[in-house]
Amino acid sequence: MKTGGDAFGRALLDWAQGGTIPETVERNDGFTDTGAGREVYLSTFKEWPRAERQSLRYMRGRVLDVGCGAGRVALHLQQRGFDVVGLDSSPLAVRAARIVGVKEVWCMSIDSLMNRIGSFDTIVLFGNNFGLFGTPKHAREILSGWAKKTNPGVRIFAESTNAYCGGAPAFDRAYYRRNVELGNSPGQSRLRYRYGNLVSPWFPWLFVSRSEMRVILRGTGWHQARVLGSRPSEPYVAILERD
């Protein structure tokens, strides 16, 4: 096994070129599970979660697809006529998105995005990508910065899943209780990917309920204008607008 490699990026690139072997997700307590694989990360619009599909009617202007992966969201929006940019910190993911047909993709982390965020009208965080913030503290820091750099009419489409209802990947009640005992956010996790002979570095990920997201948003300059999604175990999309 090669540790420190871009295991997930390699998986995305293989899937974009026709591969079908799924990734493995490992949690820092030793729990492992088969990942979502090509079926999710290259899914067509009709296969998306309901909340994601419903979100498109509220999108407008120039779109940034944050954590675009292999480009399923950016590609669909592009085909609908949106001016869309995909963004991912993985060079291999960027290559995958370009292979499937996304015209403009930036290789950049969300921490490096601050000075370019103001040119967008819509910011998409699908695929549970509110979790990219890692911790509530980091989420508040980034969102506060975005509020200062974006125009008043901008919307963020932030997707997450309630960690307590059985729908959050690589999450269970025992891990939730452990987080509470450690004083962490209940839906906070530390994960890494395995794919082929590659093992990625550990990274933090955050699942939040609707109410937990509202708490995180306080004082950041954003509020939940609308929440799409009805079943507690399914991903929901919160449409965030400037205060």
Instruction: Determine the pLDDT at residue 15.
Output: 98
Q: What mean pLDDT is predicted for residues 108-113?
A: 94
Residue 110 has pLDDT above 70, yes or no: yes
Which residues, 6 or more positions from 137, have their beta carbon under 8 angstroms from its beta carbon? none
Residue 126 has pLDDT above 70, yes or no: yes
Residue 125, both tokens: 């965080």
Provide, for the chain, the percentages of residues in helix, strand and coil under a 3-state DSSP scheme, each rounded to the nearest 5: 35, 25, 40
Question: What is the third-level CATH fold of 2-242?
Answer: Rossmann fold (3.40.50)
Instruction: Determine the pLDDT at residue 57.
Output: 97
- Of the candidates 147, 89, 96, the one whose C-alpha atom is nearest the C-alpha of residue 117 is 147
Residue 3 has pLDDT above 80, yes or no: no
pLDDT band at 106 (very low <50, low <70, confident <90, very high): very high
Instruction: Determine the pLDDT at residue 177.
Output: 86
**Residues facing 34 on adjacent strands:** 24
Helices 136-149 & 210-217 angle (0-180, nearest 10): 60
* Cα–Cα dist 18/194, whole Å: 19
Q: What mean pLDDT is predicted for residues 1-16?
A: 91
Round the average pLDDT of the chain to a whole number and report it. Answer: 95
* Cα–Cα dist 89/151, whole Å: 24
Q: What mean pLDDT is predicted for residues 50-70?
A: 98
Summarised one tens digit per residue, pLDDT across range 140-189 is: 999 999 999 999 999 999 999 998 877 787 778 888 888 889 888 889 99
- Of the candidates 68, 60, 6, the one whose C-alpha atom is nearest the C-alpha of residue 41 is 68
**Residue 146 phi, psi dihedral angles, 5° rounding:** -65, -35
- Of the candidates 24, 25, 6, 9, the one whose C-alpha atom is nearest the C-alpha of residue 175 is 25
Instruction: Determine the pLDDT at residue 164.
Output: 83
Instruction: Determine the pLDDT at residue 231.
Output: 85
Residue 131, both tokens: 């979790």
Instruction: Determine the pLDDT at residue 170.
Output: 77
Domain locations along the chain: 2-242
pLDDT band at 1 (very low <50, low <70, confident <90, very high): low
Given a contact cutoff of 8 angstroms between Cβ atoms, the answer to whether 86 and 78 are in contact is no
DSSP letter (8 states) at residue 196: T
Q: Which run of H or E residues covers position 198?
A: strand 198-199
